[in-house]
């Protein structure tokens, strides 16, 4: 595996950054998780636009243009000869000193890793996930806007620890007011009265790329879909529930807090969305290009 760091490629064991990088010291930076399927990078432009928006929100100057960043991602895949991959694109504030001041970091650092990821076993996509609602609340938007996909994930990690202790693969995180925000790494949808419902971003949910794709697919299938606030009670009493995310894709949820959702099996709308999403990823995307021989 070859890792891209600031225009050069390094073997995994030699891919290093400074211990004074503010991404390491303070979680000061932004990132994107991106997927490649069948020789194409899915929704690459959307991911790069979100990366740019996150960077602007924290006044981080990206050292590459969007076109240059796109080519860097594609080149990383070509160098690693990968047609199917999970890509982690990271931009840190760069090397500074031990102080907090970002002005001491003259240049941002770009890291691109192309590898594999499998958050959940394949049987979870046919049987569904068992989730738990955790005590750790989602960061309030007034403190850290959820639209910013930053490197600081400690809030989510604390919730993930609670899920681990409950022996469940994912956790529902609530806002300070008790509304469902999102999971530790995924957006959540429920089905109520044949309508898809997902929390609005202002509650604490990331404006997910896969979340947006589900809205597109729902429109195509003539399934009503909208944003709306809801509580765990609404999940308990929903007919279906599922999670979305770049790594997770679309995955059913069949239990929450030891309560079955619907009949305890993935529902028909969820199964249609999974099928349509998988078809879409295989036919759409930015071509990676030809691999070099040798």
Among candidate residues 137, 149, 176, 220, the one labeled active-site is 149
* Strand positions, DSSP E, the chain: 2-5, 8-11, 29-37, 40-41, 85-92, 109-115, 129-133, 170-174, 180-183, 187-192, 195-198, 224-227, 240-245, 249-256, 259-260, 286-287
CATH of 2-115, one of 2.60.120.620, 3.40.50.10680, 3.30.470.10, 3.30.830.10: 3.30.470.10
pTM exceeds 0.85: yes
The span from the CA of 249 to the CA of 277, in Å, is 8
Of 214, 245, 248, 8, the C-alpha closest to 109 is 8
What confidence score (pLDDT) does residue 119 get?
A: 86
Closest C-alpha to 251, from 273, 226, 229:
273
Domain 123-281 - what CATH class?
Answer: alpha beta
- Provide the residue ranges of all domains of the chain, joining segments of one domain with +: 2-115, 123-281
Residue 49 has a pLDDT of 98
Q: Are 253 and 180 in contact (CB under 8 A)?
A: no
Q: Cβ distance 85 to 41 under 8 Å?
A: no
187 beta partners: 244
Q: Is 140 exposed, middle or buried (0-12, 13-18, 19+ CB in 10 A)?
A: middle
For the chain of 294 residues, list the mean pLDDT of each consecutive stretch of 10: 97 97 98 97 98 98 97 98 97 98 97 93 95 96 92 96 97 97 98 97 96 98 98 98 97 98 97 97 94 61
Q: Note the maximum CA span of the chain.
A: 57
149 catalytically annotated: yes
| pLDDT for the residue numbered 294 | 45
Q: Residue 293: its pLDDT value, please? A: 58
């Amino acid at each position: 595996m070859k890792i891209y760091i600031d225009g050069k490629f390094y073997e995994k064991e030699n891919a290093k950054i400074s211990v004074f990088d503010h991404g390491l010291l303070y979680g000061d930076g932004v990132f994107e998780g991106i997927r490649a399927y069948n020789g194409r990078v899915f929704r690459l432009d959307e991911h790069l636009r979100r990366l740019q928006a996150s960077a602007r929100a924290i006044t981080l100057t990206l050292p590459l243009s969007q076109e240059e960043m796109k080519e860097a991602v594609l080149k990383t895949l070509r160098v690693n000869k990968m047609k199917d991959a999970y890509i982690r694109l990271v931009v840190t504030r760069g090397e500074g000193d031990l102080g907090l001041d970002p002005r001491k970091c003259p240049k941002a650092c770009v890291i691109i890793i192309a590898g594999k990821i499998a958050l959940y076993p394949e049987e979870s996509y046919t049987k569904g996930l068992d989730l738990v609602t955790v005590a750790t609340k989602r960061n309030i938007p007034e403190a850290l806007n959820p639209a910013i996909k930053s490197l600081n994930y400690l809030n989510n990690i604390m919730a993930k620890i609670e899920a681990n202790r409950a022996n469940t693969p994912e956790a529902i995180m609530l806002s300070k007011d008790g509304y469902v925000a999102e999971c530790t790494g995924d957006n959540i949808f429920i089905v109520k009265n044949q309508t898809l419902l997902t929390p609005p971003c202002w509650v604490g949910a990331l404006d997910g790329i896969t979340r947006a794709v589900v809205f597109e697919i729902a429109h195509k299938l003539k399934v009503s879909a909208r944003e709306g606030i809801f509580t765990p009670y609404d999940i308990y009493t929903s007919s279906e529930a599922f999670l979305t995310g770049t790594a997770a894709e679309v995955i059913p949820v069949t239990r929450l807090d030891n309560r079955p959702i619907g009949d305890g099996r993935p529902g028909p709308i969820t199964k249609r969305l999974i099928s349509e999403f998988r078809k879409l990823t295989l036919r759409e995307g930015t071509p990676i290009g030809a691999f070099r021989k040798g």
